[in-house]
Structure 1
Amino acid sequence: MITGRSLCSQRLLLAFVGLFGGVMLESNRAFLSVAIVCMVNNTDLNTINTTKTTSPVSEHAEFFWSKSEQAGILSAYFYGYMVTQIPAGILASKYGGKHVVFIGMLIGSITTLLLPIGARTSIYLVYVLRVILGASQGVYFPSVHGMWGQWAPPLERTKLLAICYSGTKIGTIAAFAFSGFLCEYGFDNGWGSMFYLSGGLCVLWCGVWYITVSSTPSKHPRISREERTYILDSIGGSHKVSPTPWLLMMTSAATWACLIGHVCSEWVTQTLRTHAPTFMNEVFNFNITENGLLSSIPYMSQAVSSLIAGQLADYLRSRKYLSTTATRRIFQSVGFIGTGASLVCTGYVDVDNRYVAVFLLACAMWFVGLGAAGFMVNFVDFAPRHGGVLFGVANSIMALVAGVGGPTVAGALTPNKSQEEWRNVFYVCGGFCILGTVVFGTQARGELQPWAVDKVEVVVRESKDVLTVSSSALQLNSGRLEEKTTRISTHL
């Protein structure tokens, strides 16, 4: 639970401002997933389908984009996204995550505002704008993750990050829930209003972010002395930029376990975020308004489960019922198993029971939400000072494998838009869930790794009578980093 010490604190404010940042980020990205259903004439001229009739063409359809072109547009975001991950982590640790996030999100909001103009000009301009959007928004998670490495006390870490990162789920909910309504009743032929609305709100959020947050507690102008001391004592007082131990970091089992867990979970998430509305339309024939609302339900489920998981995980750790390692492994493994089983079952639901499919997708995303107490926070567990860089590395690989691969594979496996083809998409998702369970469930680490500890600095001062040795040694004690100072006096 949020204690009196953390209620109304600047770290809790950072979590809520970050939550709304996630809403802006995800709505800017996800609106196109539903908008494309009403933007595009659903008759694919490149596909001869003799087994099923095509869905009715939306009256708002302006474009004749093929199935492969639509998949390419949806995945183009991740080509840009993966490029800025590692640089963002490095820049955030050097110049502060606040400034990196502000610049990136401002560029992303402008790109979103330009998308309707680009779409009516050329499909190639849509590709370019989506790549720029991905590159600009790609700075968000590595930068914010690096900030949490310096803001989140260890035993509040899961719940604070769960609150902050629940914004992406809420953004998906908002995008799916309102996009169908906006497509039907909005201005600029309906779908155009989605991008003007999300882009404009994101500009406003950028101003709020810049005014209210700071990169570190020590730089915040409005933080209380009590809160600053509490955070610094909990995490460790030194916030100097530490050199990144690249070789040790990239050969660590903890790094690779978290990275693989991240990729496996995001394969499912990105596949559903980009293709769930298309699946609902092609297999179950939901109209655009129903489609948007029903596609948002799984993400409501995920948002709730991630918040519950964050609170429960920190409760179990604070009461010492489970170690951090056991907590991360159990929550993430249960999440993977439940997600895979729910998705495979979804593939066997027929059109007469289409609301059962919605329920199963909600179950799948509920289990995905348990990752808030699993891989999502794990980098900050075992390497808090390098969390931004690590998250950048993981997100770069995720963007290539899951962000580009997930939508592309789903598009390639469903050329005829049949239920049997979509069943194969869910089998692939289930396979990634099995891989994640095996690797993360056996190899994840929750404790600070030796290569992530700051080097000990020893200062020797010699006087006439006394030789004094001062050392700043970081020790791990009950899941908390504490700064110890040892003084040894020896008479000469």
Structure 2
Amino acid sequence: MDNQVPPRKVPNFCSIRYGIALFLLLCNVIIMSQRVCMSLTMITMVNSTEPRGLSNTSTKEPQDNIKNPVYNWSTEIQGIMLSSIFYGILISQIPAGYLSGIYSLKKMVGSALFLSSLFTLLIPLAAEFGEALVIICRVIQGLFQGIALTTQQVVWIKWAPPLEQVRLTSLSLSGLLLGPCVVLLITGFICDSLGWPMVFYIFGACGCALSLLWFVLFYEDPKDHPCISKSEKEYITSALTQQVSSSAPSLPIKAMLKSPPLWVISLCNFAFFWANSFLSLYTPMFINSKFHINVKENGLLSSLPHLFAWIFAILAGHMSDVFLSRNILSLLTIRKLFTLLGLLLPALFSLCLLYLSSSFHGTMIFLILANATGSFCMGGILINVLDIAPRYYGFLKGFTNVIGLTGGLVASTVTGMILSQDQDSPWLKIFFMMVANNVISLIFYLIFAKAEIQDWAKETQNTYL
């Protein structure tokens, strides 16, 4: 882009590229709804979510069996069910990234969303045949969700001008934060009025409908879209042609594995996903164990932390851009500051939740703050890879995501085991593990983090990324 006049910019809103971003936002809301809804329906699906439940005497309750069947699943099995979706997501990350460069994005994203929705529809039926089939459905569901989440980001290679890539990507991915808020807000009402199986039917049907719309409305190249304006098409294509496209550079694997900045980013991703997954999946159970309220009220309360997490993420992105554009802080200071806020504040508010929340309002305030402040990482570790190795961003983002998702998987599984085996103070142990992960990772990050391009990632020739 050097020594060239930038193309004339066209309005952001009422444009096809922002329409695609909003459509993907909606798809991500549905994907997260399908992933998270079981954390609340679990309260009505089983006869106890308490550690070593005392009422596990029958397989199903006699009343309303058809509409709202209840199963005799231990808290350990519940933890495996909630975490099993991460196995599929984890497995699909790297293959999906590779295949996205070979096959049609339209078919990959649309098919993955449809199949994830199909297995969501099958979960109530699978539950009738036993917990093993539910776990299998969740793993397969996660496999297709991983494909959809990974391949959709490749859409912006052809649709996003370089100066708008971060904005469009963050807009579409913000649905991952908004999704849990939406699902927890309405799942309680659905369970209360229609029965928990309808939760899976509704979100599964919505996903199938969106996938069909994707096949109809999405075009992989702006040049082929029948509804795009001439000015927007020229703006996108002229901006992208100023980038020099070449074959992907070979990966300096040895140098990457020896890079302390990359490893501390990965370590912090592990801690962030651990905390985020635990708080996303187990907030309804924690609220139920503390207050023993009905599922409708639980859903309303459980949605609040996610709503504030979405707001804090938008705030973090705006603040980070302001600090950088006005030269208030250096890039490295910004990354360290937002990582500090995103890992330390949830740890502090979790401790407050354990020791200072004697009332209902106190518990909810600290629970909301512990969940929401983690979103500050959006301006820190979650984009730090782009600073140190923009040339290998796609590969390294997948690598750090795999490590992060491993943290989420371990967190969910370990939490279920602790709830199953500890009768006295399970939540104390669970929150302390999260705090320890955050603090230890943060210390290493503050020592070894970098924000400049590393020697092994510098371009020796003019290549695209």
TM-score by length of 1: 0.81
Question: 1:34 aligned to 37, 40, 46, which one?
Answer: 40
Q: CA deviation at 1:137?
A: 0.7
- Report the CA distance shift for 1:45/1:250 in structure 2 as closer, same or farther (over 3 A): closer
Q: CA deviation at 1:417?
A: 7.2
Is contact 1:141-1:392 (8 Å) kept? no
Question: 1:195 aligned to 180, 183, 200, which one?
Answer: 200
- Report the CA distance shift for 1:272/1:45 in structure 2 as closer, same or farther (over 3 A): closer
SS in 1 for 2:18: helix
Partner of 2:176: 168
- Partners of 1:332 and 1:218 lie apart in 2 by 40
Alignment of 1:188-337 (within 5 A): 190-213=195-218, 222=228, 223-233=232-242, 236-238=243-245, 240-337=247-344
Q: CA deviation at 1:408?
A: 1.7
Task: Give ranges in structure 1 of 5+ residues lacking alignment.
Answer: 50-55, 457-472, 476-480, 482-492
Q: CA deviation at 1:82?
A: 1.0
Is contact 2:28-2:176 (8 Å) kept? yes
Q: Which is higher, the Rg of structure 1 or of structure 2?
A: 1
SS in 2 for 1:415: helix
Is contact 1:177-1:293 (8 Å) kept? yes
Greater Cα shift, 410-419 or 360-369:
410-419
The answer to whether 1:14 aligns with 2:23 is no
- Partners of 2:51 and 2:449 lie apart in 1 by 48
Question: 1:371 aligned to 377, 385, 404, which one?
Answer: 377
- Report the CA distance shift for 1:218/1:367 in structure 2 as closer, same or farther (over 3 A): farther
TM-score by length of 2: 0.86
The answer to whether 1:425 aligns with 2:430 is yes
Q: CA deviation at 1:101?
A: 2.4
Q: CA deviation at 1:421?
A: 2.1
SS in 1 for 2:355: coil
Partner of 1:109: 117
Q: Which residue identity is paired with 2:374?
A: V
- Report the CA distance shift for 1:193/1:47 in structure 2 as closer, same or farther (over 3 A): closer
Partner of 1:403: 408
Alignment of 1:338-487 (within 5 A): 338-349=345-356, 353-384=359-390, 386-400=392-406, 402-415=407-420, 420-452=425-457, 456=461, 473=462
Partner of 1:123: 131
- Partners of 2:63 and 2:355 lie apart in 1 by 28
- Partners of 2:252 and 2:170 lie apart in 1 by 28
SS in 2 for 1:139: helix
- Partners of 1:173 and 1:151 lie apart in 2 by 29
What root-mean-square deviation, in Å, do the aligned CA atoms of Structure 1 and Structure 2 show?
3.0
Q: Which residue identity is paired with 1:256?
A: W
Q: CA deviation at 1:205?
A: 1.8
- Partners of 1:224 and 1:343 lie apart in 2 by 49
Q: CA deviation at 1:217?
A: 6.3
- Partners of 2:303 and 2:424 lie apart in 1 by 21
Partner of 2:100: 92
- Report the CA distance shift for 1:140/1:45 in structure 2 as closer, same or farther (over 3 A): closer
- Partners of 1:407 and 1:77 lie apart in 2 by 10
Deviations 1:140-167 (A, max 9, x none): 3332344446655665454433322210
Question: 2:81 aligned to 66, 69, 73, which one?
Answer: 73
Is contact 1:159-1:307 (8 Å) kept? no
Q: Which residue identity is paired with 1:20?
A: L
- Report the CA distance shift for 1:344/1:292 in structure 2 as closer, same or farther (over 3 A): same
SS in 2 for 1:102: helix
Is contact 1:110-1:199 (8 Å) kept? yes
Is contact 1:86-1:392 (8 Å) kept? yes
Is contact 2:162-2:240 (8 Å) kept? no
- Partners of 1:313 and 1:155 lie apart in 2 by 16
- Partners of 2:239 and 2:75 lie apart in 1 by 54
Is contact 2:50-2:419 (8 Å) kept? no
Is contact 1:71-1:408 (8 Å) kept? yes
- Report the CA distance shift for 1:345/1:46 in structure 2 as closer, same or farther (over 3 A): closer
Deviations 1:285-310 (A, max 9, x none): 22211111100100000001111211
Is contact 2:162-2:239 (8 Å) kept? no
Q: How many aligned positions are there?
A: 445
Q: Which residue identity is paired with 2:133?
A: L
Is contact 1:93-1:241 (8 Å) kept? no
Q: Which residue identity is paired with 2:196?
A: W
Q: CA deviation at 1:106?
A: 1.7
- Report the CA distance shift for 1:45/1:276 in structure 2 as closer, same or farther (over 3 A): closer
Deviations 1:358-395 (A, max 9, x none): 11111112211112222223334444454333232222
Structure in which a larger fraction of residues adopt strand: 1
Deviations 1:58-81 (A, max 9, x none): 974520101111111111111222
Q: Which residue identity is paired with 1:227?
A: I
Task: Give ranges in structure 2 of 5+ residues lacking alignment.
Answer: 1-8, 56-60
Deviations 1:305-359 (A, max 9, x none): 1112112222322333334333222212111111110111112255x51221111
Deviations 1:176-214 (A, max 9, x none): 11111111102xxx1011111111111122233344445
